[in-house]
Every structure is written in structure tokens, then in C-alpha cells.
Structure 1
Amino acid sequence: MRYEQLADLPCSITRPLVVLGDRWTLLVLKEAFSGVRRFNAFQSNLGIPRSRLQDRLGRLVDHEILVRRQADDGDHAEYRLTRKGHDLYPVLMAIKDWGDAHMAPDGPPVRYRHRECTGEARVALACDCCGELMTAHDVHPEPGPGLQPYVEAGARN
């Protein structure tokens, strides 16, 4: 199966990976969450080749994660996170939590503090019904409504 064909699979983990699943895209998003908006700033902060950055920014714009618009000063275009883009913040924080736990032997290189109380931002998996914290051992995947069209298409073939 070709990488692009993965977007057609009925899986809410696989589909986003087609858009987000390379290091440069996630690093571009990390920079965007840090307030970077201009192409040249992304390029100089990351050291990414210009053509690769154009591709990644274009993909994020195509998927409505970023929007490209004229800067307030009118001199340059800038890239801003959309609501859909902002919804990715917990994903980056989950990666950060894992990195702090498993790849930071001297402790976290950056602390992400809550502005109100100085506590640290952490991602937790919790049940949407009872609020209990969960791990992979507590979760049981089962078919959802988005799978039905694929089941019906398979029955017809």
C-alpha cells in the first residue's frame, strides 16, 4: 500500500498520520505554537530546506491546520494556527510528556507552566463518562459509526 492510500483507511489514528506523520511537520507546528508566523522565521529556526518547508506549510494549509494570510504590516504572508490547528496542542504535549519521561535523563529541557498557578501542563487519558484516568490496558476498541460504510462496501464486493 502506498503512503497516500493510508488516508483512505477507516482509522482515526492512521488518517492524521498521513498529514502529521513526519518530523518536519510536527516541528513546524511546535514553532507555530511558539508564536512563529513567517516563512523565514520557520526556515531559520528549524534549518529546514526551503522546498521542504513550502511543502509542509502547504500541506498544513490544505488541511486547514494553518491559514496563510497577509501580515498586519502588509509586508509578508504569515501562517496562523486555525481552531483545528489549536486542537493539536494536546498531541504535541503528549509527545513532550513521553520525551520528558523517556528521553530526558537530566530532566525536562523545558517546563510548560500554567499561567495561573505555575503547575505543569500534562496530558492525561481519562474516561469521558466517569473521569477515571486510563492506560492502554483499560481501553477496549470497538467498531464505531464511521466504520459502517466500509463494512457495507465490503459486503457489496
Structure 2
Amino acid sequence: MAPDAAEGQSPPWTDPTCPVARTVDLVGDRWSLLIVRDAMDGARSFTDFQQRTGIARNILTERLRKLTARGLLAQVDSPSGRRRLYALTDAGKDLFPVIVALRQWGERHAFEAGEEHSVLVDGDGVPVPDVLPVAADGSPLTSETTSVRRPT
């Protein structure tokens, strides 16, 4: 999903072989991630997204267009057939672990001790355990225990 010609090419600072850079190019602005978050939480209509985020209508229109063009959202007919709704695509749904990791980082680092915040829970109401990468043997991975293999 490289940026298309209408969107322009990646900025010169972006490493074209880096999946993190490519992902940030696709969804790295605040509004896009909040729209994806809200779609995961049941938002479907333009009004849903606008009310949940408080985003200006023109910015929301542009972000929804980009997320749809980039294959993260798809437009679908509402049951009434009167308007179009937005649904996460498989690519959009694949961002769930990313959103969970960002949420959990925020729980640890973006709030003062004891400050209230929302909590992600499973179907039984139990808080979701920390998302942590693990090696094939189940041992925890960190930036100190991994490295990036770049194309030659």
C-alpha cells in the first residue's frame, strides 16, 4: 500500500523499506488513528465519527476519504439504503493490536498516577492483558533483544 500518485510520494526522510515508516505514512496522523479506534468501537456513520472525535467536518471528510482509498475502511450501504456507512476492512481490523498497544502505552505513560481513564475489557469485562511481543519460545522480546534486517 505505498502512497499513490494522487497522495504524492513518500517524504524524502521516510525509509521506503521500513514497515514502520510506511505505516506512519498511511495512518500516522492523530485523526486517522482516532477514526480507526472509533470504528473498532462501533462508529459507522460520518455523524458517529464527528460526535466521538469532535473533528471538523472538512478534516473528517478528508480522513475518511484517505482511509477508504488506502483500504482501511470501506463504504457500505446502511440498512435503510439512505446513506453510506463505513466499515473496517480486514486491513483496518489488523490495526487492532496496534491500537491496543498504543492504549496500553498511554495507560502507563500519558496519565498521572491515579488519574481516571477508560479501560479496554474483554467480553467478560476483564481488562485486556498487556500486549507484548514474544519470541518463538515464548520469551519476551524488547528493543534490546531484537534487530532489524534491512534489504541489501
| TM class, shorter-length | 0.7 to 0.9
Matched, 1:85 2:92: yes
For 1:47, the equivalent position in structure 2 comes to: 54
Structure in which a larger fraction of residues adopt helix: 1
1:123 is the counterpart of 2:110: no
Alignment CA distance shift 1:58-1:8 (3 Å): farther
Cα distance in 1 between the residues matched to 2:78 and 2:129: 30
Quote the offset at 1:49 in angstroms.
1.4
Flag the 1:62–1:142 CA change in 2: closer, same or farther, 3 A.
same
User: Identity of counterpart residues, as a percentage?
Assistant: 27
Partner of 1:15: 22
Query: Are the equivalent residues in 1 in contact too, given 2:119–2:127 (CA < 8 A)?
Result: no
Match of 2:79 among 43, 47, 72: 72
- For the residue of structure 1 that corresponds to 2:38, the secondary structure is helix
Summarize deviations over 1:47-93 as a string: whole Å, max 9, x none.
Answer: 21111111111111111111011111212110000111110011011
**Structure 1 unmatched runs, 5+:** 152-157
Separation of aligned partners in 2, 1:138 and 1:94: 19
Q: Which of 110, 115, 131 is 2:118 aligned to?
A: 110
Measured after TM superposition, the shift of residue 108 of structure 1 is 5.5
Report how many aligned residue pairs link the two structures: 142
Which residues of structure 2 form unaligned runs of 5+? Answer: 1-7
Q: Which residue of the partner structure matches residue 10 of structure 2?
A: 5
TM-score by length of 2: 0.84
Of 96, 105, 111 in structure 1, the residue corresponding to residue 103 of structure 2 is: 96
Paired with 1:72 and 1:20, the residues of 2 have a C-alpha distance of: 29
SS in 2 for 1:67: strand
Task: Tell me the residue number matched to 2:141.
Answer: 134
Displacement of 1:122: 2.4
- Check whether the contact 2:15–2:21 (CA below 8 A) recurs between aligned residues: no
Aligned to 1:28, the other structure's residue is in SS state helix
- Aligned Cα RMSD in Å? 1.9
* Cα distance change of structure 1 residues 117 and 36 upon mapping to structure 2, 3 Å threshold: closer
Shift of 1:24: 0.5
Alignment partners' CA distance in 1, 2:105 and 2:22: 22
Deviation at 1:104, TM superposition (A): 1.7
User: Hey, what's the Cα distance between the residues in 2 that align with 1:71 and 1:51?
Assistant: 22
How far 1:13 sits from its partner (Å)? 0.5
Measured at CA, do residues 23 and 12 of structure 1 come closer, stay the same or move farther in structure 2, by a change above 3 Å? same
